Amino acid sequence: MSARASNGGLSLKVRAAGYDSRSVLEDVEIQARPSEVVSILGHNGAGKTTILRALYGLLPRFSGEVQLADRIIRAPNPAVMLGAGVAYVPTPPNVFGDITVRENLLLGMARHPRGERAERLEAVCELFPALRDRMRAKCSNLSGGQRQMVAISRALLSDPSVLLLDEPSIGLAPVLVEEMMDHIRAFVSRGISVMLVEQSIGVALDMSDYIYVIKEGSVCLERPSSEFPSDEELWTYF
């Protein structure tokens, strides 16, 4: 179990969780504190995505609890978590390809008055200028990087206090990865906690305040990212 002391933000304590008759996670405890980026690393099939799905209430089998600030949630589900201020961006495909960029973004504002929508869409365009001229384009016609921008923007339009990102750099060119990292830093500067699953050790070390390494459904290593001298040490746990 985690050695970190609780300090607000979002935390997950799992006794066991998985799919149907298959248990994937066992005795996992992770936390993302306010204004902190936490990365979850591990080999394919280690249970990284399952952790985010457990946090968002997307698993058929779950024994444990989610704590958001002072609130304990023992039966998480997407409606409860979204209402509590947690937004989830899964791996692609994570947008609706047969509708426009604007229509995708409007889905993130379902809880907000219509009179606020124009201002909120403008804020998205300031954050991701590449979307400004693509509002009427179907998402199926966008590049991979642009679709990621739409997915992240839609999540941010729900005004989350915690953002869950599953492999946000997947399929992106290096220049777009750098841009995505800049955006994540901007989110954190606004007080949002970010928990991300990431395949790139280099991106995780550059982005994160704290890192968890998952192996066979359990945490095998955790420490501040500043304590890793290089990605070579991390590879020994994979």
Mean pLDDT of 158-181: 87
Please give the average per-residue pLDDT across 34-39, as a whole number. Answer: 94
Residue 231 C-beta-side C-alpha neighbours within 13 Å: 10
pLDDT band at 32 (very low <50, low <70, confident <90, very high): very high
pLDDT band at 231 (very low <50, low <70, confident <90, very high): low
Residue 6: band (very low, low, confident or very high) from pLDDT cuts 50, 70, 90: low
Specify if 140 maps to a domain. yes
Averaged pLDDT score across all residues of the chain: 90
The pLDDT-based confidence of 229 (bands split at 50, 70, 90) is low
Number of domains in the chain: 1
197 phi-psi bin (left φ>0, alpha ψ -120 to 50, beta other):
beta
Tell me whether residue 41 is in a domain.
Answer: yes
Q: Is the pLDDT of residue 1 over 60?
A: no
Task: Judge contact between 139 and 97, C-beta under 8 A.
Answer: yes
- Residue 173 vs residues 154, 186, 196, 204: alpha-carbon distances, Å: 22, 20, 18, 16
What is the per-residue pLDDT for 2? Answer: 57
**DSSP percent split of the chain into helix, strand, coil, nearest 5:** 35, 30, 35
Decide if 46 is inside a domain. yes
Is the pLDDT higher at 203 or at 78? 78
Classify strands 193-197 and 37-41 as parallel, antiparallel or unpaired.
parallel
Cα–Cα separations (whole angstroms), residue 232 to 15, 41, 167, 229: 31, 13, 20, 8
pLDDT band at 24 (very low <50, low <70, confident <90, very high): very high
Task: Return the higher-pLDDT residue of 95 and 191.
Answer: 95
With cut-offs at 50, 70 and 90, classify the pLDDT of residue 170.
Answer: confident
Residue 72 domain boundaries: 10-235
Residue 5 lies in a domain: no
Which CATH number do you get for residue 160?
A: 3.40.50.300
Q: How many whole angstroms separate alpha carbon 5 and alpha carbon 214?
A: 19
Per-residue pLDDT at 232 exceeds 90: no
pLDDT digits (tens, 9 = 90+) for 110-127: 888 889 999 999 999 988
* pTM reported for the whole predicted model: 0.92
Q: Label residue 200 by pLDDT band (50, 70, 90).
A: confident
Please check whether residue 1 lies inside any domain of the structure. no
Flag whether pLDDT at 5 surpasses 70. Answer: no
Sign of CA dihedral 198, 34, 163, 127: negative
Residue 194 domain-assigned (yes or no): yes
Burial label for 131, CB within 10 Å (0-12, 13-18, 19+), is buried
181 is a domain residue: yes
pLDDT recorded at residue 236: 75
- Other CB atoms within a 10 A radius of the CB of residue 186 amount to 11
Kindly state whether residue 4 falls inside one of the protein's structural domains: no
- Report the 3 state secondary structure along 47-93: CHHHHHHHHHCCCCEEEEEEEECCEEECCCCHHHHHHCCEEEECCCC
pLDDT of 194 reads 95
Tell me the percentage of the chain whose pLDDT exceeds 70: 96
Q: Provide the percentage of residues in the chain whose pLDDT is more than 90.
A: 65
- The answer to whether residue 63 scores a pLDDT higher than 90 is yes
